[in-house]
Structure 1
Amino acid sequence: MSAPLAERLRPQNLDEFIGQKHLVGKGAVLRRMIDSGRIPSIIFWGPPGVGKTTLANIISNTLKAPFYKLSAINSGVKDVREVIEKAKNARFFDSAAPILFIDEIHRFSKSQQDSLLHAVETGTVTLIGATTENPSFEVIRPLLSRCQVYVLKSLEKQDLEVLLQRALTEDLILKERKITVLERDALFRFSGGDARKLLNILDLAVASDDATENNDEELVITDKLVTERLQENPAAYDKGGEMHYDIISAFIKSIRGSDPDAAIYWLARMVAGGEDPKFIARRLVISAAEDIGLANPNALLLANACFETLQKIGWPEGRIVLAETTLYLATSPKSNSAYLAIDKALATVEQTGNLPVPLHLRNAPTSLMKELDYGKEYKYAHDYKDNFVQQEYLPKELNKSCFWSAQSNPSEAKMQE
């Protein structure tokens, strides 16, 4: 069985690399560094399929440096230390420092990232990290300060055209077929600027063709053909695409609908599909506030703790934290009163504009403000029985307006007492 088309066409040098002209075009900063044979530690930030891993391989090939690769999904501190030890033994005199490539470095916990610091600082390894997330938020500051961050962009239409032609004319398997690309819109649209996705779609269209066994028959690729093939096998192209949003939608709606079994199933689908755990955790925090709300305020505390714990312990143990939080939210009483209240208040603000703050509620730090009656007749609630006193807190134009309505659950019923 042959390797996937994307792997067969993986560029081996910068001349074969497509896209990212701002980094590797003639005279561009990264190209100059690679040509000089000296590169700093680097973090490549960009969407999937734009060349982050390929560039790391090209750098290693060009510099003739030992190359070690770790995936943040299934590597821990022990794996990092083992690679660093190997790197120490692999370097000779003036040779280039071994390259340690970490895919999805944003999934490394703080302790895992800490374990890289000394080796990067001393030059034991040249780190190349790849991430789809903003490294300012996902990479610890000490490590980030020791790396150059380069932003990679989705491929432009002209880049995709070059890639498509290269696949048809240079791939040993495809060039033996009679293939005519009559329409390109679906290929380019579904790829979303992702080179790997484009090649996977093309590979699928060719492999699924009825005439595959007879290379003498022409395969005509049209928008209709591509769309039909993708409907038959959506997993072939849907990495972070429509299915990504469909599954997270099913997950949140299962929590909202108080179905723990469905919620845990959709969680498992995301985990098995390689979804970023922090993306899931962020959605749990939102669900805790929007769907559980004041019916169980502890839900937000647990969801926030889930997000923080994921950053501390990393993966794969993080799946247990996500599962616990998911089940807790799914089985909690539900209320969206906070969600409705803020939206109702925002609608009022949009309609009424910036109404003045009542004088008795204004701060009066200067004598002039006191002379203007700022703070006058304000009643300090703690001076009254049960720490409560009746007075108006809204602008006079909104006197007696009601934005929050308690819903039917014990927690909010108690709040109204």
Structure 2
Amino acid sequence: MKKDIRQMHLKTLALYFLILVCGIGLGATLIFCLYSIPLNSKPKQLFTFQIPPTTLEEQPPGLYAINSQVPNQTESTTPTTNNMVSNTTTGIIKEEPKQITETPRPAISSAFLHGMRDEQLFWRASMVPRINKTPFKKIPKVAFMFLVRGRLPLSPLWARFFRGYKGFYSIYVHTQPYFVGEVAPEPMFQGRRIPSEVVTWGEISMVEAERRLLASALLDFSNERFVLLSEACIPLYNFSIIYPYLINSKKTFVECYDKEGPVGRGRYDHKMEPEVTLEQWRKGSQWFEVDRHLALEIICDKKYFPLFRDYCKPACYSDEHYIPTFLNIEFPEVNSDRTLTYVDWSKGGPHPYKFGKWEVTDSLLKQMQNGTECLYNGEPTRVCFLFARKFVPSSLIRLLELAPEVMHF
């Protein structure tokens, strides 16, 4: 019995030895094969994918920053649209049909991701063509930049406003980064949310958000005018009035005035001298409209923005002072010193009045449209405000009811 057990152990040891020899031989063979592969050989691609071509209107700004295709209104290369004409002096509004022939732009193959830090974003947005004349026919667009906390409650009204004018506008939305969900269910708002940081209303982070929106919108070379709007803003006219009003304007619209007292000059810090003096200090609304030239100057500013970041702190609200002061010092001749957004301060307090459902009437909206007189390109006009705020979400139904009659959309 002991002899049989000994023989069994010998057979087991022989089997283990055979397995060990085979393993060493197989390993040596694999190592030899790996070392014999040339260093300049390329691995085969197991998976391939291709980014589908998209139009500039369909591409999300948070994904692809550049696309050179002019969006087609229809499958035809000569889409039919409305020739948007408005006489801001007399208030006469008319629309004339016109054929627009679009020349497609050359494709830019190296689209890059928009997941950039602010420094990278501003650097990329500051790159502008030195030849002003484009080698393709460009339709100037208006960039509507929404600075919101989360959802856009009045989006159904804005959807009616944008409907039918694809190719003449761009949308950008800056929300709080912790907001989860859709900003708005309408198609024109899908994919329009840009990478954002936490915003504290009234502090320097608000100005940083505004500059981030401008830089994102500047990546599209077709954007010529840039409008900053809040979640409580509404349009007072249809698109065929607002678009030519902005595109044909010779000046930008940033509210800018000198105000005595604690909420004006009282917020100034003498540590800003000599770059910013008390006489140059200005106040205004944060909801502005600028052209492409001023948008570039704002995001490229390395002289005044650091001063506001360091010395304009609560109760100095940077969003009410930075851009008005900057334009007052550097570009006073190109600004109209007025805002395009109507607000009601008649009730007093630190914030404008909020319009609820039962306060929205046709007479109220018409008063916002024609209740004042101002200058537009040197001529007097009663079309002074293109937008209005603040409207609470409960006013949406009433606004949708009045939109066809009062705003004509």
Compute the TM-score of the two structures, normalised by the length of structure 1.
0.21
Return the structure number with greater helix share.
1
Compute the TM-score of the two structures, normalised by the length of structure 2.
0.21
Return the structure number with greater strand share.
2
Higher RCO, Cα 8 Å, sep 6+: 2
